[in-house]
């Protein structure tokens, strides 16, 4: 919850131009009001919705990246080797490629 307050406070500060601590306070109050009136069930549904959207976004981005390389991991890693300043020095072992 702290990370959400920090991120939301920074976003509100950026969008509205108000002081960071005031933005965090506003977000905290709004979150508290939402939980009080909506209850934990509503909060849980928001978390479920966020998780599903995050997974769908990850899936879509992954598919788009793989489509760019004709769904070939070999082509993707070969392109990574040529695009990296270190070239094959870092990506010479398969385990290093998979750890990216």
Residue 79 maps to a domain: yes
Number of folded domains that form the chain: 1
- Please report the pLDDT score of residue 76 as a whole number: 85
Residue 81 maps to a domain: yes
Residue 95: which domain range?
Answer: 71-100
Is 0.75 topped by the overall pTM?
no
Residue 75 maps to a domain: yes
CA 39 to chain centre: 26
CA 44 to chain centre: 19
DSSP 8-state code for residue 84? S
Residue 95 maps to a domain: yes
- Condensed to tens digits (0 to 9), the pLDDT of residues 73-86 reads 888 888 877 776 66
Looking from the CA of 61 toward its CB, the CA atoms found within 13 Å total 6
Residue 3 maps to a domain: no
Residue 97 maps to a domain: yes
Mean pLDDT of the chain, nearest integer: 84
């Amino acid at each position: 919850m702290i990370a959400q307050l920090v991120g939301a406070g920074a976003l509100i500060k950026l969008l509205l131009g108000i002081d960071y601590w005031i933005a965090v306070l506003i977000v905290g109050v709004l979150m508290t009001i939402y939980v009080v009136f909506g209850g934990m069930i509503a909060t849980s549904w928001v978390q479920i919705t966020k998780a599903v959207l995050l997974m769908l976004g990850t899936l879509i981005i992954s598919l788009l990246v793989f489509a760019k390389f004709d769904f070939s991991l070999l082509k993707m890693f070969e392109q990574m080797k040529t695009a990296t300043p270190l070239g094959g020095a870092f990506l010479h072992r398969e385990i290093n490629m998979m750890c990216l």
